[in-house]
Amino acid sequence: MLTDHDAQALLNAHHPDPFAVLGLHADADGRLWVRALLPGATAVEVVAVATGQRVATLSARADMPLFEGLVPRRKLRFDYRLRITWDHGGSSLLADPYAIGPLLGDADLHYFAEGSHLRPFEMLGALPMTLGEGPHALAGTRFAVWAPDARRVSVVGDFNAWDGRRHPMRARGSSGVWELFIPAAGVGDRYKFEILGAAGQVLPLKADPYARAAELRPGTASIIAPLPQRRERAPERRVADTRGQPISVYELHAGSWRRHPDGRWHDWDELAAALPAYVAGLGFTHVELLPISEHPFDGSWGYQTLGLYAPTARFGGPEAFQRFVDACHAHGLGVVLDWVPAHFPTDAHGLAQFDGSALYEYADPREGFHRDWNTLIYNFGRREVANFLVGSALYWVERYGIDGLRVDAVASMLYRDYSRPAGEWVPNVHGGRENLEAIALLRRTAEVLGQEAPGALLFAEESTAFPQVSAPTFAGGLGFHYKWNMGWMHDTLAYLREDPVNRRWHHDKMSFGLVYAFSEHFVLALSHDEVVHGKGSLLTKMPGDAWQQAANLRAYYGFMWGHPGKKLLFMGQEFGQPSEWNHDAELPWGLLGQPRHAGIQRCVADLNRLYRDEPALHALDCDGAGFEWLLVDARELSVFAWVRRDGQGREAIVVCNFTPVPRPGFRLGVPAGAGAWREALNSDAAVYGGSNQGNGGQTLVVQAEPATGRGQSITLTLPPLATLILLPA
């Protein structure tokens, strides 16, 4: 019989090794005993699987839901089930979790502990599985969680009345990992972990860091879900993401692109039925989703996530999200996810003080607390935490076929003094401000994706002058493929806000970006950050009356699409949304009934198509050989002109007039080569809502007359507040 001390420890859920006393055990005389802790049970029998016969009846200890009994006439271990009669009158025939040995391999535990496990999501979390084969195969779920400072970890959920005494887990030595196979648990069941911290305190129930699905907020439980199958990336998708290809990204927030009349979100299947066709129809090459990993607060837009492996339940289950990704691919669109490895919120059910200690976060608040967002910063130097983060990046790409990740808040990761006053940050081991552990994590992420998911892209939202963000790791870089060009965005928007009469004094803001345009591989991003928090919309940043605002915006888009660098535009700005983005409402789609807004949308679509179809506009987006100024110093006129090249003989000319003054008979020096040029796009065209001034239908013959530093030139009309793109005639 079990000692009173062990029995009381089990009842209080404080026993250090439940597998040592529960399940099937032999005593000193070789007799077999079965013990089970089953709160809510009134009777328990042991049934041999081989025969289906009862072989023992277990007795309850006085005043305890602890059942134990001798199995007569048996000396060898055998497979059995427990027939349980419950106090509510029902009965169950269940396998005993404590009769099942360890399932996690020593190699998995070793690689996880050293931070080199490529796929920790295959070993940790809740994995539905079947043990054995044939009629006696046992279906259930293997749970595993990392909690090295815990004194006890139990799985609680729908399958055990959320009772932490029922399923305490097995500690796997020094790895800090706990595991348990529960036959009664299956796909769709909710669960959490009940953890007894090192100080003897029972912590708030914790969601699974590796959960693949979760409850819709305000619920916080994890949900058992299958491990998605690997998705092979189609060859055409790999080609679509190479540097010489056009990349034009439509950034969107899934919860506010479309909504039902009653305010409900569209689910993934409803989005799949409409969004890919819309985005592809506008000529974009990629969709970028603001974070869709599970998060507790709508107002964070997903940037304060607690479920780095779980698509949010707001729009449906993991399978529905996979169908959405497949629908995007079917329309030729790549899918990019915003991914947030920088920080996480402090919600009690999440990662904060996960096992009663600073496990996922830095312990010192000078390192581990983010002042700007009131969040916690991952301990990038802890091997298991780095493994958790790198594994998440690979998970989305490998298991959902995601084409790229946009890494949020990279600047806050790179610097230990980010947004911290002097004396309130901890230097690195060399006394510097760089976070060497975060730098190593980012490089490791790039290397793992490059090795395991070749062709998948990494975009950095990085706002500082940190060197070589988009250089490969073997050359000393961070390994990103592209970096958002935040400086270009700030400078050009500052210029466009100026009244045209004042733009001559700010001329360099439009040209300065070319000083450093090829120091990194850049994305020109007009993102959600520019249309929130009182910043208004892109349209309302433009000066003048309604016509001039629209003309300025179209001219700016022409400047952007003709400028070196890949493109990104946030939803709603493609048709000139006048209001600031509201994450609680859908876009104002009714505006498309107005010619001015429909014209802006058509202009964006035509810019995308021209950008995609004309190699000169994209092939050397990241190479200085693809760009040359034709006119950069015409500040009194607020006119810019340049040539784009593809390196194979193709050329395009971009000319911008940022004043409302039309300029007929404007002579512009052009490269030698083409004998004539034609107007391929005019942002002032009538179909876009413009005044229809320009050179439509005319052949602009090159003349042997010097102009603007060239030996040959063309004469053309520059429309007011407009961008022209010319191609050889």
- What is the arithmetic mean of pLDDT over 318-334? 97
Mention every residue, 6+ apart, whose C-beta is less than 8 A from residue 51.
Answer: none
Start and end residues for every CATH 2.60.40.1180 domain found in the chain: 620-728
CA 5 to chain centre: 49
SS3 109: helix
SS3 149: coil
152 membership: H or E segment, kind and range: strand 152-157
- What is the arithmetic mean of pLDDT over 101-130? 96
Residue 451 has pLDDT above 80, yes or no: yes
Residue 529 has pLDDT above 90, yes or no: yes
Residue 88 has pLDDT above 90, yes or no: no
Q: Is 461 a catalytic residue?
A: yes
Q: In this structure, are residues 95 and 159 in contact, taking their beta carbons and an 8 Å threshold?
A: no
What is the amino acid identity at position 208? D
- Distance, in Å, from the CA atom of 523 to the CA atom of 502, rounded to the nearest integer, reads 28
Q: In this structure, are residues 20 and 9 in contact, taking their beta carbons and an 8 Å threshold?
A: no
pLDDT of residue 562: 98
Residue 535 has pLDDT above 90, yes or no: yes
- What is the arithmetic mean of pLDDT over 195-213? 96
Confidence grade of residue 138 (pLDDT, cut at 50, 70, 90): very high
Given the residues 194, 461, 491, 651, select the one marked as catalytic: 461
Point out which residues pair with 715 in neighbouring strands.
667
Residue 235 has pLDDT above 80, yes or no: no
- Distance, in Å, from the CA atom of 470 to the CA atom of 161, rounded to the nearest integer, reads 51
User: What CATH number belongs to 620-728?
Assistant: 2.60.40.1180
Q: Is 408 a catalytic residue?
A: yes
Instruction: Kindly report, residue by residue over 43-67, the tens digit of the pLDDT.
Output: 999 999 999 999 999 999 888 999 9
pLDDT of residue 696: 87
Question: Domain 106-223 belongs to what topology?
Answer: Immunoglobulin-like (2.60.40)
Confidence grade of residue 226 (pLDDT, cut at 50, 70, 90): very high
pLDDT of residue 234: 77
pLDDT of residue 16: 86
Strands (E), 184-256: 190-196, 222-223, 248-252
Residue 697 has pLDDT above 90, yes or no: no
- What is the arithmetic mean of pLDDT over 14-40? 93
Instruction: Kindly report, residue by residue over 288-317, the tens digit of the pLDDT.
Output: 999 999 999 999 999 999 999 999 999 999
* Strand-pair category, 54-60 with 286-289: unpaired
SS3 567: strand
Structure pTM? 0.95
SS3 554: helix
pLDDT of residue 479: 97
Q: Which has more confidence, 556 or 454?
A: 556
| Average pLDDT over all residues of the chain | 95
Strands (E), 31-151: 32-37, 41-48, 54-60, 66-71, 80-86, 91-95, 125-131, 138-146
Q: 715 vs 302, 631, 660, 698, 705, CA distance in Å?
A: 51, 14, 19, 11, 10
Q: Cα 616–620–624 angle (5° rounding)? A: 115
- What is the arithmetic mean of pLDDT over 248-267? 97
Confidence grade of residue 134 (pLDDT, cut at 50, 70, 90): confident
Q: Quick one: what percent of the chain has pLDDT higher than 90?
A: 93
pLDDT of residue 673: 87
CATH architecture of the region 4-99: Sandwich (2.60)
Confidence grade of residue 239 (pLDDT, cut at 50, 70, 90): low
Helices 546-562 and 486-497 cross at an angle (nearest 10°) of 150
- Distance, in Å, from the CA atom of 560 to the CA atom of 284, rounded to the nearest integer, reads 14
- What is the arithmetic mean of pLDDT over 156-164? 96
Given the residues 189, 408, 462, 574, select the one marked as catalytic: 408
pLDDT of residue 135: 87
Residue 241 has pLDDT above 80, yes or no: no
Residue 543 has pLDDT above 90, yes or no: yes
